[in-house]
Amino acid sequence: MLLRPAVVLTSLLLTAGPAAAKVVSVRPPASGGSAGASVEVDRAAPVDRSAGRPLAGKVIVLDPGHQLGNSRFPRQINTLVSAGPSRKPCNTTGTATNAGYPEATFVWKVALAARRQLEAQGAQVLFTRGTNSRSQWGPCVDVRGRAGNSEGADAKVSIHADGSHARGARGFHVIAPASVRGWTDDIAAPSRSLALAMRGGLGTGGFPRANYIAGGDGLDFRSDLGTLNLSDVPTVMVELGNMRNAAEARRMTRRAGQAAYARALVAGLGRFLG
Ligand code: ZN
C-alpha cells in the first residue's frame, strides 16, 4: 500500500540471504537501523542464455516494500527524504490483512520466491532490504528509488499489496512512472513496457485486474512516488491485490499463493527481458 503522500534515504542494495552469486562487497544493515551497503556486479561473468537460462546476464532488482519494523520507528519513518521533484516521508508502515498478516511479510515471501525462480533462469537478483525484521526499519523510498542505478539493472520491480476497505475491492494494478522532465522522462517508455509485461504476467497467472482503482485496466501512472521517480532503470510498482479482501488475503498468506504471485511476476519479467 502506498499512501499518496509518501516516500525516501541513500544507497542500499542487498542480496536476500546467503549464496547470492556474482555479488560482492555486500555489507548487511546494522542492527536496529537502515544502513547503507554497496554491491558490485560482475559483468564479466559468462553469459549463457541457452539451456533454460533465458535470463542469464540480466540484473534484476526486487524491492519488497516496507520493512516489518517500520511502525516501531516513527521518527525515522516520518523523516522527509527526496522523492524526486518533492520531498516525502521516508516510508510508511504498509497495510495488513484483517487478521493482521503484514504487507511487509507478504511481499518479502513473494520476493524470496521470485528470486529463486529468477536465479534458476540465470538472472542476478538484488534486493533493497536484506531482512524482514521487527527490529529494523527502512530503507527509505529514496534508497529504494535509486537501487540498481549504479549497477545498470535491466529492470526493477517494487512489490506491494494494497489495503482498500471499499466493499468488494479486489485485484492487482501496476504503477509505472509518469514522464517527469529531468526525472523519469528517460525511463517512462521502457517502464510502460515493463508495466504492460507485468500486467500480462499477472493476468496469465489468473490474477484479476483491480476493480476499485486504476480505471479498471490494471495500469496506473504516477509522478508522486520516489521509488519510481529516482530510478534510472526501467521500473514499476506492483500492487498485487487487496489484503483487506478475504479471498485475496487467503491466497496471500498461504505459501502456494505466494509462489503463484511470484511466478506471475517472473513471467512478466520474462516477457520484458526475453
Ligand atoms: Zn505498500
Domains of the chain: 53-273 (3.40.630.40)
Name the 3-class secondary structure at 156: strand
In angstroms, the CA 79 to CA 191 distance is 28
In angstroms, the CA 60 to CA 49 distance is 15
- The single-letter DSSP state of residue 144 is H
40 catalytic? Reply is no
In angstroms, the CA 242 to CA 96 distance is 9
Sign of CA dihedral 263, 267, 268, 272: positive
* Amino acid 34: pLDDT: 47
Burial (CB < 10 A; 0-12, 13-18, 19+), residue 53, is middle
The predicted model scores a pTM of 0.86
For residue 65, the CA-to-ligand 1 centroid distance in Å is: 5
* Amino acid 274: pLDDT: 86
* CB neighbours of residue 133 within 10 Å: 16
Sign of CA dihedral 196, 202, 206, 208: negative
Output the nine-digit C-alpha cell for 221: 501512472
Tens of pLDDT, residues 58-79? 999 999 999 999 999 999 999 9
Q: What length is written for the chain?
A: 274
For residue 270, the CA-to-ligand 1 centroid distance in Å is: 24
In angstroms, the CA 151 to CA 208 distance is 34
Question: What residue type is assigned to position 12 of the chain?
Answer: L
Residue in the structure block whose three cell numbers are 538484488: 126
* Amino acid 49: pLDDT: 61
Question: Which residue is catalytic, options 103, 119, 151, 239?
Answer: 239
**Radius of gyration (C-alpha) of the chain in whole angstroms:** 17
CA 175 vs. chain centroid, Å, equals 11
For residue 55, the CA-to-ligand 1 centroid distance in Å is: 27
For residue 46, the CA-to-ligand 1 centroid distance in Å is: 36
Q: How far is CA 105 from CA 79, 134, 169, 209, in A?
A: 23, 10, 21, 22
For residue 95, the CA-to-ligand 1 centroid distance in Å is: 7
For the chain, list residues with pLDDT below 70: 1-51
* Amino acid 259: pLDDT: 98
